[in-house]
Structure 1
Amino acid sequence: MPHDVTMPQLGMAQDAGKIVSWLKAPGDAVTKGDALFEVETDKATMEVEAQASGFLTGVSATEGEDVAVGAVIARISDSADDEGPAPEAPAPAAQEDTSDALPEGKSVTMPQLGMAQDSGLLVNWQKSPGDAVKADDVLFEVETDKSTMEVEAGTDGYLAATLAEAGENVPVGQAVAIISADKPDAPVSRSVASGGVEEAPVSATETVEEKLTEPKATPSKPAVQSTDGRILASPKLRRLALEQGLDLSRLVEAGHPQPFHVSDLDVLKALPQKSARPAAAAATASRHLVAKIAGDALPGFAKWSAEAHGMTDPDALLAGLAGAALPDATCVAVERFGASKSYAVGGTNSLSDVTETEDPPDLILRDLRGTTIRSADMGGETAPVLTITTRRKGLRITLDCAADQLDAQTAIQLLTDFADRVEQPLRHLL
């Protein structure tokens, strides 16, 4: 199936790009990831990669030509002979949106945040029709499958028209707003779903009265629901909710209208707690950290320890290194090839003081070197688990534990210290 090659949007205020040069000729075989052409904007020159494998056909833009963002300039086809009609570069969406029914002004288009992106989900509007805007004011937020970004107005003026509603998917390059130089008498509000049929304009008088009679912190919002089940929320709210351990789905369950903003954070905090669920969630939450080190110094260290100091138990050496990385640990269990031995480490940094014990472990060390296993994510057990596996060049060390066993800082410190000791075990003796 042919894949259209379009002019990407490399900047939020970019309307078009200049084809500097084609790096592949019509009929050439291309592989996904190959550089197809160079494009120049007012800020940068970049290589654009192929998003599919096949043959370059239907090239319709020449070197030195300015092409509108989103315009089809070539195809990647299954056959070099599949030329077909050359794809025509469509007129910019701004020309349709600035017809007689719409105010005159500069169009703001749906940006292309990724080379393979065809559309973006408009999360919410930060300005209302009729509002005065500055070039660096955030106009709306857009979400793709990879990121959520704030889109700036790009020019000073007034928001004369909004051409999509929160929760709608808008094709890349299509106009979503118009900014006029003069304050509009009757700002326009449309949706993509309406197919361009103009809805009742919002009068300037109504806009002013609404601002005077309704508190800005609690505006009336339509209950918007994304079609694919995603929660519509601003990036800042998502970050704050994550930092404070809050679940945005509780707002959805409570019927709070989307999209959610930072102003909804207090509403989320005020929602009644579900009985026993927060405690259960905290108890079952887990931590999974991975460290990678170059080489494997442990066999050489074990040989040196046996010859120079008579320490012939390599498991005791591992237990000592692990115990020193977790100062509160008094017992470390070492599991190797199905067998397990526990060692008393007793808060000492002396490897010669490590002895076998029957006490329950504070830390489990699972040594999978010599097996075909290359990574492990087995969840927490009765104690935190450090797992050593072999990778192509060096070792991978994984820490799995429950959140109530180690706090985040202690878990990070444990894995860091143990990885350092395994990478350079002789430093442990200094």
Structure 2
Amino acid sequence: MPLDVIMPALGMAQDKGLIVAWHKQPGDPVAKGDILFEVETDKATMEVEAAGDGFLTDVAASEGTDVPVGDVIAKISDTAEGSGDAPAAPAPAEKANDASADDDLPEGKSVIMPTLGMAQDSGLLVAWHKSPGDQVAADDILFEVETDKSVNEVNAGFDGYLGATLAEAGEDVPTGQTIAIITADKPANPVARKMASAPAPAPQTQDAPPQAPAAEKSKPAKPAPVAATGGKILASPKLRRLALQEGLDLQRLVDAGHPQPFHVKDLDALRALPAKSGQAATTAQAAGRITAEVATEGFTAFAAWAAENAGLTDQGALLAGLCAASLGKDMAVSVDRFETTATYAATAQLGATAICDDTPDLRLRDLRFTTITSVAVGAEDVPTLTLTRHGDGLAITLEYANGQLSAPEAITLLSNFAGRMEQPLRHLL
């Protein structure tokens, strides 16, 4: 069955994206993870990967075209010929999830569920930080969303008032769907709805059957457990942190046959499981979290210099090297950038960093080109550094659990890494 290639939602205020360039041509073979095209938003230019193997067909939008979020712009088919029925891109006013089409909703700017990962098709709305009718600024945290990889705080994106919320905490919201409306004036009658009662459903792919109304849905069948590679348990970082704090063992969910990946909603089931006979209670490990702020960011210029003068074009490798240099020892560093992840054998020497299959000793999450401005994910399987924008500079957050880093090591790592992101040439000293 062909896979639809859609215009992803890469930001809160994004309702369309400009196709900058196609990296594959119609009929070309593609593999999962290949770069298909580049899309430009108000914030950045991002590379979009193929979600599966096949051939690129039915391309419906050319380079230089503005495409509404959620529109199908191509297919990945089993053969190079494709289906021959490329979908026509509807006008923005015809989009199924345009909340402004509902006369009961106030007029204003739509806030959508963002795409925080290329393989993400929905996000769990964890909590609202504002109530309907509240005044909001563009940089205010509006809500928290949980994906398979992390829990993220999302900004409002606009100045004004929260005129409507179209989903409640605890609901899974499809990416690209409108979940709030920011109005210019204070609303006389702010709206608060569940997602099920929102005026329009999430966009459907051409091959997917239409969803039944929420009131008529039967409880979905429980999927079979996912087999974790190498015995690794697939769970959201927030659940890992909460389980760690309560001294709960996620392996008990695996043993009980609960399907992976595990989310916060599985915490009650974990608490209810009977303890194994003779099993001693696990002492929760306290988690550490420290943050540094860098007034000016020098890494971008440094990366351009390294590419031109030293032929070092892999920015992930440069970041991994900066991490290793900050602790002064060889280590495996996993770098998450632009929804791609690679692990590097970093030796703190420029040019001596290579991709490897080692289990990482440290993770670096680069969120500089997203709308996310702060994180509080909690301790993960390895110490994690997260980069976010802070004015013209950076905010750098280090999260770790006891036993992963000592307090002096954590302070040394963060302070040295912050200094190198501000003045990367220190890496050569």
Alignment TM-score, normalising by the size of structure 1: 0.48
Alignment TM-score, normalising by the size of structure 2: 0.49
Larger relative contact order (CA 8 Å, sep ≥ 6): 2
- Which has more radius of gyration? 1
